[in-house]
Structure 1
């Protein structure tokens, strides 16, 4: 195993699912073994100050990115940090907390790949790119339920963030090892939960697991792997997992992935859950979490792409 913490970076637009994915991966690997760093905690201004300055949280000028960069370097070196904390419900900066390094560090945020130094701290880099209308629905639901915003406030915020997302967030996509996109089925465009499909663009910068034992070419199997081209024209493997994947097939895929990471098999009951009116399980989310956990464990063991 690696003698230093293994760092996973997760980047995506506001409400792209970063915190949900980070929490799920921490559950897979064991919360006592994972230190999670939220990029929002490094905001330079609170909600009121951002409004007065006409800044969004997506603007690098609105964030203490140099401090985040330094903290990632310290955690990667096995040293503790005094981490700032942002209270989303109140929109204020509150008392910092002492965070010790653990075997795994997950940093999730809007700008976690913004600088070369931050990218070099990350052993594995994930970019979340949900279908845009789905992301907007997620943001409306989250910000009105848990962050103290009204519906009209969220809609105005979405419009204000549009330019900064294009300028500062989306360009980080190019640095990711895996690009993950959740999207609704054609027959239910309003779906936002368990029936969402997921698409993984698997770039050759990581040694991806051999899934051939469970890929039979059946279009109704709920999972397929094919060669495609990324938006830059480069060839990539694309893994598609249907929200309607049959239960038995999903279990076969999970069994295969767990067999490849036996170190974490005792935690297998914790994957695929999200907030949705109770303990809700999504097979595409569970398999996404497992695939990333696989990469983290293998990277900690020194397994790299050929």
Structure 2
């Protein structure tokens, strides 16, 4: 089994990189474990308290559950992956049944932050994209998918995303085995990465 960690700021193009890797490998060869599925269970909080959570801080994640489930997959066991609703700001009752696969991709903004999780990875990737480009992608995504206004997205970016990125996410670049600039637009880098991974998992 090969475990790959893919990190990078919000809107950096991580999803595009993951998709390219999945497409490059044989069908049913890869399973993706999104870090976004492992936000803490906030059922005991009020709606107001949930909406006040800083989801770009390490404390927002259930690291113990994520590490345990990745360990179980690595041991050949299936897991019940949690699901999370951005609209409710809470974990849902439904889970996703995940079977172990030859390639496990852990994808998220802080995938490389936790040492225990990092130590389980065979390949660590950081998607490094210009901050202006990331802001544009955040505006496009949050307005369309999460019902936010442009002003809301920009305000959140300046007050939360940017400082959290500089404090917690950007520094994890030093742990990466491979840095892919400009996310999904760097086709050459992704192609080289996919060929490398194909060789590793054969």
Shared fold per TM-score greater than 0.5: yes
* Pair 1:71–1:96, CA change in 2 (3 A): same
Q: Report deviation, 1:31.
A: 4.5
5 Å matches for 1:27-106? 27-44=23-40, 49-52=49-52, 55-88=53-86, 91-94=89-92, 95-106=94-105
Query: In structure 2, how many angstroms separate the alpha carbons of the residues matched to 1:177 and 1:142?
Result: 29
> Which structure ranks higher in relative contact order (CA pairs < 8 Å, sequence separation ≥ 6)?
2
- In the other structure, the counterpart of 1:133 is 132
Query: In structure 1, how many angstroms separate the alpha carbons of the residues matched to 2:36 and 2:70?
Result: 14
Query: In structure 1, how many angstroms separate the alpha carbons of the residues matched to 2:27 and 2:138?
Result: 26
- In the other structure, the counterpart of 1:151 is 150
More helix by share: 2
* Pair 1:102–1:180, CA change in 2 (3 A): same
* Pair 1:87–1:26, CA change in 2 (3 A): farther
- In the other structure, the counterpart of 2:200 is 299
Alignment: residue pair count: 196
Is the counterpart of residue 15 in structure 1 residue 14 in structure 2?
no
Listed as ranges, the gaps of 5+ residues in structure 2 are none
Q: Report deviation, 1:141.
A: 0.7
* Pair 1:50–1:143, CA change in 2 (3 A): same
* Pair 1:71–1:109, CA change in 2 (3 A): same
The alignment's C-alpha RMSD in Å is: 2.1
Matched-pair contact (CA < 8 Å) for 1:13–1:170? yes
1:157-216 CA-to-partner distances (Å, cap 9, x unmatched) read 212222221221111100001111118xxxxxxxxx8xx5x3xxxxxxxxxxxxxxxxxx
Query: In structure 2, how many angstroms separate the alpha carbons of the residues matched to 1:289 and 1:87?
Result: 30
5 Å matches for 1:1-306? 5-44=1-40, 49-52=49-52, 55-88=53-86, 91-94=89-92, 95-159=94-158, 160-182=160-182, 196=185, 198=186, 284=187, 287-301=188-202
Secondary structure of 2:197 counterpart? helix
* Pair 1:49–1:24, CA change in 2 (3 A): farther
* The structure with more radius of gyration: 1
Query: In structure 2, how many angstroms separate the alpha carbons of the residues matched to 1:18 and 1:89?
Result: 22
Query: In structure 1, how many angstroms separate the alpha carbons of the residues matched to 2:20 and 2:63?
Result: 25
Query: In structure 1, how many angstroms separate the alpha carbons of the residues matched to 2:115 and 2:125?
Result: 15
Query: In structure 2, how many angstroms separate the alpha carbons of the residues matched to 1:33 and 1:88?
Result: 29
* Pair 1:24–1:102, CA change in 2 (3 A): same
